Amino acid sequence: MTVRQRLRSTNPRLLAGGTVLLLLAAASVVGPWFTADPAEILDPRNSSLLPPFSSCTHLRLHDGTTLVVRDATVEGAVVRALHGGRAVTIPLDRVATLEHRFHLLGTDTLGRDVLSRLLHGGRISLAVGASALLLALGIGIAAGMAAGWLGGAVDAVLMRFVDALLAIPTVFLLLFLAAVFRPGLVPLVLILGLSAWTGVARLVRGQVLSLKEREFVLAARGLGVGPVRMALTHLLPNAITPLAQDGALLLCDLILLEASLSFLGLGVPPPHPSWGNMVAEGENVLLEAWWLALIPGAAVALTVMAAAVLADGLSETARGVVRDSP
């Protein structure tokens, strides 16, 4: 089967969601190498709140000063430009470098490039979401396997603990964990991962309970296969499909939770950009500079929508496989 035939046979929602997520991840990983420093603040009085598709010129003088000007032209031995709405004339021998910049998505209140911060923030937001997802899957799979396979008191204790955690509202649990841990990227991953594993544990436990009495599992037990090897070679592979669906939906929740915590000032600490704290920074100037909140908010919405479509495609593919199986 050729690549084109494989693509045609692939579920369109699975293909669309996966493609958008891959493009977002690739842009967040590669894009920052080709953009300006997201923390660079130069002449904020004259570079702040530039709208999308704006351009300006950075004049770096020999004394270390940087001026952000517009309509800069070199005329003989001087540079003529507009600085702060006033026409200025600067001797050319005072200018160290003259750099033209184009701000595709504008600048923020401190004159930082929004596109650069969006890509750097995407790298952080996606990395935090993916890391928290891996942590939640690791804890949830281990707890679910133990509860489903061992049963008895182990199952009762673990599931009652899971029920107790599920009874606590997610926001309250996140706020409690955020108060316990210090602000930072690693604590944020721990906070999100420790609040998200319970659903995975219940799912894995249900899968193990449905598989442990199947003939191939009974045959493996009869051959003396140990519990760890049983889990890795017989139980977990047969639970991959529902785990993938749940993982895609869980990624949606984690990205939204990270953005919410960062919006409240409890997530990614400044000066590191994230989509959540970018929305928070743009809230105060929403009417004056709509792009500061709308663009990172749209990035969050697009990522969550792509992950949800991916989960829907995985679900449809799994139903098709079950329907076609003898």
Under DSSP, is residue 57 helix (H, G, I), strand (E, B) or coil?
A: strand
**Under 8 Å CB-to-CB from 91, ≥6 apart: which residues?**
77, 78, 79
Look at residue 320 and tell me whether its pLDDT is greater than 70: no
Q: What is the pLDDT of residue 112?
A: 93
Look at residue 322 and tell me whether its pLDDT is greater than 60: no
Domain with CATH 2.30.30.100 in the chain: 54-103
* Cβ–Cβ under 8 Å, residues 36 and 68: no
* Cβ–Cβ under 8 Å, residues 296 and 60: no
How much is the average pLDDT of 274-284?
93
pLDDT in tens, 5-15: 554 567 788 88
pLDDT in tens, 58-83: 989 988 888 999 888 888 888 999 98
Give domain 114-317's CATH superfamily: MetI-like (1.10.3720.10)
Q: What is the pLDDT of residue 323?
A: 46
Distance CA(55)–CA(62), nearest Å, equals: 23
- Confidence class for position 2, pLDDT limits 50, 70, 90: low
* Cβ–Cβ under 8 Å, residues 200 and 250: yes
Distance CA(49)–CA(30), nearest Å, equals: 26
What is 54-103's CATH number, 2.30.30.140, 2.30.30.100, 3.40.50.620, 1.10.540.10?
A: 2.30.30.100
